Structure 1
Amino acid sequence: MDKKTTILLAEDEPALGQIIKESLETRNFNVLLCDNGEKAYGVYTSQQPELLVLDVMMPKKDGFTLAKEVRKANDTIPIIFLTAKSQTQDVVEGFSIGGNDYLKKPFSIEELIVRIHNLLNRTKFQKTSEVLQFGNFTFDFPKQILQYKDDSCMQLTHREAHLLFHLIKNKNQVLDRSVILNKLWGNDDFFSARSMDVFITKLRKKLKADENIQIINVRGFGYKLIC
């Protein structure tokens, strides 16, 4: 029998939390349910689940704060936010601090399950052993380390590393915005696009040491790494 995937569910509405838990358990998931962010962090550190489903508005510690703390220790675990917030900046903040997906309440359990499977499949993305050279940079993709010449090293996040990898592989060519959004974010909606813009800005700052390298925005199409 296949090992069950363990999901940490942090939801302070008892009825909703129980419905989600029971629904996921019928799909062969092992679910750890917590009703506040403080308790959820303790369960995360002790149980090491494989995916997090976090309500944004929780007592003692909100979902965004919890995600930030988790990301300090684990940059790859998938995180889905459940939110009643509809403000664009709230959703973009969720992506910026390390969230992989979000669902606005009310939502269907079936949609949540589809998104969970999608994220779990994406984490199986096959890593390459390649160490890539471009300009004055060396990029160790498996270790997610970007090094300028022979000195300073920068540790990239999981998403920064994958985005840079695709840009390098397509250097001097347009990287289709929709394609990369679907590959790394799972969809190409407005909020995912805003999140990608944030990560592009972060990469530009890391690459500014080499004046011969730039990431340009090709309006209506995507991005191009010029090297």
Structure 2
Amino acid sequence: MKPKVLLVEDEPTLAQALADNLEGEGYAMQIAPDGQAALERWAAWNPDLVVLDVMLPKLDGLEVCRQMRAAGYSTPVLFLSAKGQPEDRVEGLRVGGDDYLGKPFHLPEFLLRVKNLLRRREETRAAPTYTFAGHQIDFRAWTVRLRDGRKELLGEREMAILRLLIERAGEVVSRDEILDRVWGQEVFPSSRTIDNFVVRLRRLFEPDPQNPQHFHTVWGVGYRFTPEPEPPTEPAHR
């Protein structure tokens, strides 16, 4: 089955050009010309990826993403926008976007970002569930059932970082490796971006986020995940 891409773009010429190129790459396509249509087609078609312009008629792209995330949709979102300043990118990621590409852009870079987002989604779908310390993680549904019974939906990048740390449990994973595995060739994210994601994971899983038992910082290097809390260090006997 072809991966399904919903393209939300109000400029007809650009929308058709991008749709033609995406179809040429083997994707099934639908185009939504405004924010309201985007909400309706996203819910009805259940795409594998949404390419979402920020400045749209009726409802802007940020609000579209915000509403769909609040409704529980975890579909990866690639924002497109002529507003390419760092603060614009941060806002796009904050409302639930997974990538942000400023206009104008090079077509090969756009197609590569689409490919990378779909690849990461497929990898996550294929992952099994995982349980530690009373928490259950479902990588297919991008949800966690916490020890206290609460259910939380994670974003794609939160889940990708969590999966990588779990795969390498007990090992130190460097920030550079996390950037490479989770963001690929994108140049915007920094090591500080990773720190913020790990803070979110600690708030979810740690009894005391200020004194983590599972998600440990290895200063100057990266992070280490330990499924079971490490025992306290016994004082040395004289």
Partners of 2:72 and 2:153 within 8 A in 1: no
Shift of 1:212: 5.3
SS state of the match for residue 110, structure 2? helix
1:157 to 150, 154, 158: 154
Quick one: which of 33, 46, 49 aligns to 2:47? 49
Corresponding position: 1:112 with 2:107: no
Task: Quote the offset at 1:92 in angstroms.
Answer: 1.8
What residue ranges of structure 2 are gaps of 5+ in the alignment? 230-238
SS at match of 2:30: strand
- Matched residue type, 1:145: V
Paired residue type of 2:177: V
Q: Is the 8 A contact 2:8 2:53 kept in 1?
A: yes
Alignment of 1:55-204 (within 5 A): 55-125=53-123, 127-134=126-133, 137-142=134-139, 144-148=143-147, 151-159=148-156, 160-187=158-185, 189-191=187-189, 193-204=191-202
Q: How far apart, in 2, do the equivalents of 1:188 and 1:223 lie?
A: 21
Q: 1:10 is matched by which residue type in structure 2?
A: V
Deviation at 1:171, TM superposition (A): 4.5
Q: CA deviation at 1:85?
A: 1.5
**How far apart in 2 are the matches of 1:104 and 1:174?**
34
1:53 Cα deviation after fit? 0.5
From the superposition, tell whether residues 165 and 21 of structure 1 become closer, same or farther in structure 2 (CA, over 3 Å). closer
CA drift at 1:188: 5.7
TM-fit CA distance, 1:107: 0.7
TM-score (ref. length: structure 2): 0.78
Query: Offset of 1:100 from its aligned partner?
Result: 1.7
Contact 2:65–2:96 at 8 Å: present in 1 too?
yes
Contact 1:24/1:113 (CA < 8 Å) preserved in 2? yes
- 2:235 aligned partner: none
Question: CA-to-partner distance for each residue in 1:116-151, whole Å, 9 max, x for gaps?
Answer: 1121111111544353324xx433344632423xx3
Contact 2:136 2:144 in 1 (8 A): yes
- Distance of 1:212 and 1:33 partners within structure 2: 45
Look at both structures and tell me which one has the larger radius of gyration over its CA atoms: 2
What is the match of residue 5 of structure 1?
Answer: 3
Q: Which amino acid aligns with 1:132?
A: T
Closer/same/farther in 2, CA of residues 16 and 212 from structure 1, 3 Å limit: closer
Change (3 A) 1:75 1:42: closer
Residues 116 and 128 (structure 1 numbering): CA distance in 2 closer, same or farther, change over 3 Å? closer
Q: Distance in 1 between matches of 2:45 and 2:128?
A: 30
Deviation, 1:45, is 1.9
- Higher RCO (CA 8 Å, separation ≥ 6 residues): 1
- Amino acid of the structure 1 residue aligned with 2:222: G
Distance in 2 (alpha carbons) for counterparts of 1:103 and 1:87: 11
Q: 1:102 & 1:92 partners in 2: Cα distance?
A: 9
Structure 1 equivalent of residue 18 of structure 2 = 20
Change (3 A) 1:66 1:133: same
Could you say if the C-alpha distance between residues 221 and 74 of structure 1 is closer, same or farther in structure 2, counting changes exceeding 3 Å?
Answer: same
Distance 2:34 2:152 in 1: 31
Q: Distance in 2 between matches of 1:83 and 1:11?
A: 10
> Deviations along 1:136-178, whole A, 9 cap, x unmatched?
x433344632423xx3434241433342333344455422212
TM-score, normalization by structure 1: 0.82
Distance 1:169 1:29 in 2: 30
